[in-house]
Amino acid sequence: MNVVASAFLPDRELAGDDLALVQRVRAFAAAQLAPHARRIDEEGEFRRASVRELGEAGILGGPIGPSHGGGAWTPLHVALANEELGAVCGNTRGFVAVQTGLVAQCLERFGDDAQRAEWLPKLCRGEVIGCFALTEEDAGSDVASLACRAHADGSGYRLSGRKIWITNGGVADVAIVFATIDPALGREGITAFLVPTDRPGLERTRMPGRELGHRGSDHATLAFADFAAQASEVLGGVGRGFAVAMGGLNAGRLSVAAGAVGIHRAALQAALEFTASRRQFGKPLVRFQMVQERLADSTTELHAARQLVWRCARLRAAGQETALDLAMAKVCATEAASRAADVAVQLHGGRGYTSAFPAERLLRDAAALRIYEGTSMIQKTIIARGLTST
């Protein structure tokens, strides 16, 4: 039976540079990521060689300006690339979102000339790895409640506190660390610091337990104890850390939403190919009405989610994006991807319950995207608040 998986691809809606970028990233993902995706998930391995390969392919520097070694991608290019990466390896897509969105783009926007010159070219080439040290035990969705302290010390600061669930944290060479100069100031006291990680006063340990998904990513706890940060390493200004954090999260949310579209697409393709080849009661599963209904619903949701992501990217390029636009794209894409991956597992039957087929990995990876860079519940709160001025 002929399988028309191309119905899930974005290609026929693209042309010129957009289409060329998609095809280039897709070819890279097939050649460099696909051979390792299952193994790094099963072994829990962070594959350092991928960092170099991503840098050489121009993917890590894609959104960054040419003056710092980047490719000056448009927001749509960022979305297109993250869909292609997400369709093949959620671990790599997650790494790219942190390296380019949370760290490099945040540095490009809020850093000073010296900070950008020192770190951006290296981040773009994959010579150094970055992390975004924001989340704490009691500061996740409520960023303003973080407890990590920055005590003034002569011409600099001393950082003390503990960060958890920091992607790339255990392997990062440079970190954007968020701390408060005074808890009584709330968000007005939050300050971001751009610091190398090889100084005394930082202990890094792997997060306990085994992750549900993204098992090939590096997730770490960072414990700062009297860690020295220079005044020149403040990013975006003293007391401006909340704006820096929101800027980084907004960049990351578009990548997460686009990556979810990629997972959705991969789950649909896996489900279609399996149901077209698997026969029961004398005919392929894909010929059964209830199977067709689930494939049809997932396909429709895929295209709807992709269009919301593209809409958000185009609004961002025009300087018209709002928090509501971004929240709609993220919650729609991540929730739809989770449903599509669940359908894929069900349509695989018992085979969907084993790592010999990709469906179960896609389901596990999709679950994380409903949490990263703001949970689905937080996104719905943002949407609801955006409907009223009160």
Closest CA to 170 of 215, 206, 217, 202: 206
Residue 352 near residue 280 (C-beta atoms within 8 A)? no
**Which residue type occupies 153?**
D
Strands 283-284 and 279-280: antiparallel
For the residues of 15-62, what is the DSSP string, one character each?
Answer: -HHHHHHHHHHHHHIIIIIHHHHHHHHHHT---HHHHHHHHHTT-TTT
Contact at 8 Å (CB) between 279 and 168? no
Tokens of 120: 């951006």
Tokens representing 77 are 């290019």
Phi and psi torsions of 237, nearest 5°: 105, 150
Instruction: Tell me the residue length of the chain.
Output: 390
Tokens standing for 222? 């960072």
Q: What angle do CA 386, 64, 196 make, to 5 degrees?
A: 95
Give catalytic status of residue 373 as yes or no. Answer: yes
Q: What is the rounded distance in angstroms from the CA atom of residue 369 to the CA atom of residue 267? A: 15
Instruction: Supply the residues annotated as catalytic.
Output: 373
